[in-house]
Amino acid sequence: MRRAALALLAVVPALRLSAQGFPTEPPKPTRLAPVRFPPFKEATLPNGLALVVIEHHEQPVVSVSLAFRAGAIYDPAGKEGLSELTAELLSKGTATRTAEQIASTIEGVGGHLSASSADDFLTISVDALSDQLELVFDLLGDVTLHSTFPTSELELARTRSLSALALQLSQPGAVAQRFFASEIYGRNPYGRSPTRESYRAVTAEDVAQFARERLRPAGALLVVAGDVTDAQVRDLVAKAFAGWSGAPPSGPALPAPITRLAPEILLVHRPGSAQANIVAGNPTILPTDPVYYAGRVASQVLGGGADSRLFLILREQKSWTYGAYASLRRHRGLGYWQATAEVRTNVTDSALVELLHQIDRIRTVVIPDSELTAAKGFLVGSFPLTIETPSQIASQVANAKLLGLGDDYLRLYRERLSAVSGLQARAAAARLFRRSALTIVVVGDGARLYDRLKAIGPVRIVDVDGHPLTPSGLNPPAAPVALDLAQFAARLDSARVLVQGNPVGFTVSEVRRPGDSLVYTERSNLGNGAFQQQTTLVLDPADGSVRQVDQVTTQQGQRAETHLTYAAGRAKGSSSAPQQDGSVKRFDVDTALPPGTIDENAVPFVVPALPLAAGKTFTMTFFTPSENAIKVLTFKVGSPESVSVPAGTFQAFRIDATGSRVPFTMYVTSDAPRRVLKTEFAGQPFVVELVK
């Protein structure tokens, strides 16, 4: 032990010790050790395919990446999502293998094959043990050249994409990103996003044609990294891609992104949002611009992590958010930078003002050495972690090649970051973060945000579908709606409840007409009795107004009852509801109601009886007994579409409802008597489907 201590002191004699024997100053940083990047060989094959082979013999594995200029920016207008669907279908069947055979073949040897589409590129990736290299290329060649894009698989892929889109649109952060891209890029394809309509517009022939035209060798890049040799790879490439030739058509001319002359705030009205999502930024530079390195350091200081300015101030000091970040993103065309934060509604204006102040600081004040050193230390120190495995190496090399970053990019990346000075970082921030012409998107409850935001700058308002709104339109007046009495026919409906696609229970609803009343009952049983509820509504058959509500709920052994009467513009009685913590919350109800108010439990009964038509919107007042609260719900009716449930396939209106605690979507048959076919809850794995 003594000998080891003496040896240590001999190595670092410059350390100054305190009286207690501890260092008083940190040691000076050592020079960067060179990146031990494995050698690689490059070639352009006769058919125009660029090949990079990286021999990395530390582990008996191989990673293969084949990238094409066939990303989302090449999707035709109105068919956004085509590249994404094409990528998913590449592994779903070829002339000689089914989707199941492809999956079982690669998984049977412990490997993985997938394809994905980003903005610029579509990439097919295969990973496996290196002794399976021949199989890897056999599968890669098969899915690239011989995919059949079965119609049945397209419908499954479309369904998955629509479900993912519904989840995305339920998340305000994702909504903010979609609007932000559209705002900064305008007509440029980088600003487009898939929609329900664009996914539905894609046909099997569209997919096949896109693959035929864009998955061509000229301009594509094949990167092979792992326990392989250059000679092995060349032989297998020649065999797997024999006869493959051609070049894709030239890509579309990319219009210039929008250039703003002054900052503008786009307020996306999302009724009922408890928080606000802020995104601010602008288009920046091409990927090869050398200012990237200083800009990367500046964005790290501003919002790159938990020790950045935005995070420390907006979260740690102000407690306005769980996190605030900034990032610099690259495309093959013009990239962008952005700062983001999700904050409480009542501090949105304060948070935005502080965010803008921090942008001003990073642009005008030289970064102190302590912050600069920490930011560069993180970026430089974390880089080796991104090139540890063959898969990571292949990804990094492919990214550098596809973006045209130069042969020495990866080798010199850390040195270039380390060389950034405080003055250079400030100059980069001043150039990249265009404070006087920022695009600012705020997604939240516009009725609560508009007055706060207009004190900061000009505000333009749209709804979540992008339709313009006026300040007066933020609070649309709720009004009674005359229901279609013909829809009050007696019926008995049974539905199943799914969670993540798995049945967990059922619900049965019935409409009866005893005497001079209309009675709607609903009985639910979920989780083998873990949750049970029976609701009975007595309504006036002359107009569908609610007279009485009786509800009994049992959840995890806790029983809650609600008994209300509606008369003379008031709701009276008692209400209770089980809580997540196992308690039961109880209310004594004696509430004055606006004209036309409906009990929220009547939604499944009332919505099918609305005068439904594509494009119509209904804003109505509901009383929620479980919260003892009055709410305004908005129902937007879409065009009829084909909807399949266990009860059959029907034409149905899609009706998006907002204003409740959880936004939801109902599908209601267009033919009378109307029935609720399916209900989906935004951001939740819950689906209710009609069985009979």
What does pLDDT average to over the chain? 91
Is 70 exceeded by the pLDDT of residue 561? yes
pLDDT at 267: 97
Q: How far apart are CA 70 and CA 345, in angstroms?
A: 40
**Statement to judge: residues 458 and 515 lie in one domain:** no
Q: Could you give the percent of the chain with pLDDT greater than 90? A: 74
Whether residue 621 is contained in a domain is answered as yes
Pair 136, 274 in one domain: no
- pLDDT-derived band of residue 436, with 50, 70 and 90 as boundaries? confident
Counting the structural domains of the chain, the total is 3
Which tokens hold the place of 632? 């305004």
Closest CA to 665 of 685, 630, 625, 635: 635
- Find, among 609, 618, 645, 634, the residue nearest to 537 by Cα: 609
Q: Which comes out higher in pLDDT, residue 2 or 239?
A: 239
Return the ∠ at Cα 85 (arms to 684 and 189), rounded to 5°. 95
Cis amide prior to 76 (ω within 30 degrees):
no
Confidence (pLDDT) at 13:
43
Task: Write out the DSSP string of 96-107.
Answer: S-BHHHHHHHHH
pLDDT at 1 over 50: no
| CA distances, 557 to each of 391, 526, 529 (Å) | 51, 13, 9
Please check the confidence at residue 12 and state whether its pLDDT lies above 70.
Answer: no
Residue tagged 């290299």 (tokens): 133
Flag whether 154 is in a domain: yes
Is residue 157 domain-shared with residue 271, that is, in the same domain?
A: no
* Three-class HEC string of 126-184: EEEEHHHHHHHHHHHHHHHHHECCCHHHHHHHHHHHHHHHHHHHCCHHHHHHHHHHHHH
Q: Is 553 helix (H, G, I), strand (E, B) or coil?
A: strand
Do 99 and 218 lie in one domain? The reply is: yes
Boundary (domain end) residue, out of 186, 207, 240: 240
206 pLDDT band, cuts 50/70/90, is very high
Confidence of residue 4 (pLDDT cuts 50, 70, 90): very low
* pLDDT above 50 for 391: yes
pLDDT at 36 over 80: no
pLDDT digit string (tens) for 393-411?
A: 889 999 999 999 988 899 8
The pLDDT assigned to 20 comes to 59
Look at residue 660 in the predicted model and tell me its pLDDT: 80
24's CB contacts (< 8 A; 6+ apart) are: 16, 17, 18
Question: Does the pLDDT of residue 564 top 60, yes or no?
Answer: yes
Could you give the CA distance from residue 493 to residue 679 in angstroms, rounded to a whole number? 14
Query: Is the pLDDT confidence value at 21 over 70?
Result: no
Q: 628 in a domain, yes or no?
A: yes
Q: Classify residue 599: in a domain, yes or no.
A: yes
Q: Measured between alpha carbons, how far is 486 from 40 in angstroms, rounded to an integer?
A: 74
Same domain, 432 and 538: no
Q: Are residues 119 and 147 in the same domain?
A: yes
Looking at residue 353, its pLDDT comes to 97
| Per-residue model confidence (pLDDT) at position 581 | 77
Cβ contact 126:140 at 8 Å: yes
Q: Whose CA is closest to 329, among 255, 368, 279, 373?
A: 279
Q: Structural domain of residue 635, as residue ranges?
A: 485-546+594-690
Check pLDDT > 90 for residue 272: no
With beta carbons less than 8 A apart as the criterion, state whether 54 and 62 touch: no
Whether 250 maps to a domain, the answer reads: no
Residues 349 and 465 in one domain: yes
Please tell me the predicted confidence (pLDDT) of residue 2. Answer: 39
Surface-to-core class of residue 594, CB atoms within 10 Å of its CB (0-12 exposed, 13-18 middle, 19+ buried) = middle
CB 432 within 8 A of CB 337: yes
Note the pLDDT of residue 26.
Answer: 67
Q: What is the pLDDT of residue 227?
A: 95
Instruction: Decide: 66 and 221 in contact? Cβ < 8 Å.
Output: yes
CA angle at residue 674 from 669 to 677, to 5 degrees? 45
Report how far residue 534's alpha carbon sits from residue 503's, in angstroms, rounded to the nearest whole number: 20
Q: Looking at residue 607, which CATH number applies to its domain?
A: 2.40.360
Residue 456: give its domain's CATH number.
3.30.830.10
Output the pLDDT for position 15: 44
Contacts of 388 (CB under 8 A, 6+ apart): none
Residue 14 has pLDDT above 60, yes or no: no
CB distance 118 to 171 below 8 Å: no
Phi-psi region of 161 (alpha: psi -120 to 50; beta: other; left: phi over 0): alpha
Considering the domain architecture, whether residues 298 and 214 belong to the same structural domain is answered as: no
Q: Is 62 helix (H, G, I), strand (E, B) or coil?
A: strand
- The answer to whether position 175 is within a domain reads no
Is residue 252 included in any domain, yes or no? no
Q: Give how far Cα 454 sits from Cα of 394, 439, 476, Å.
A: 48, 15, 20
Summarised one tens digit per residue, pLDDT across range 134-146 is 999 999 999 999 9
Residue 131 lies in a domain: yes
pLDDT at 314: 96
Give pLDDT tens digits for 156-170. Answer: 999 889 888 888 888
Looking from the CA of 632 toward its CB, the CA atoms found within 13 Å total 17
Give residue-wise pLDDT tens across range 103-121: 999 999 999 999 999 999 9
pLDDT at 499 over 70: yes
**What is the pLDDT at residue 11?**
39
pLDDT at residue 301 greater than cutoff 90: yes
Beta carbons within 10 angstroms of residue 564's beta carbon: 23
pLDDT tens, position by position, 626-681: 888 888 888 999 999 999 999 999 999 999 998 887 888 999 999 989 999 999 98
* pLDDT the model gives residue 170: 80
Residue 261: per-residue pLDDT: 79
Nearest to 52 by CA among 558, 401, 364: 401
Say yes or no: 500 and 382 in one domain. no
DSSP states along 474-489:
GSPPP------GGG--
Examine the domain organization and report whether 633 and 515 are in the same domain: yes
CA dihedral (293, 299, 305, 310) in degrees, to 10, reads 160
| 290 and 222 assigned to the same domain | no
Residue 455 CB partners (closer than 8 Å, separation 6+): 349
- For the chain, what percent of residues have pLDDT higher than 70? 95
Does the pLDDT at position 439 exceed 70? yes
At residue 245 the predicted structure's pLDDT band, cuts being 50, 70 and 90, is very high
Give the pLDDT confidence score for residue 22 in this predicted structure. 67
Residue 275 CA to residue 351 CA, distance in Å, equals: 12
Residues 236 and 278 in one domain: no
Q: Mean pLDDT across the stretch 219-228? A: 95
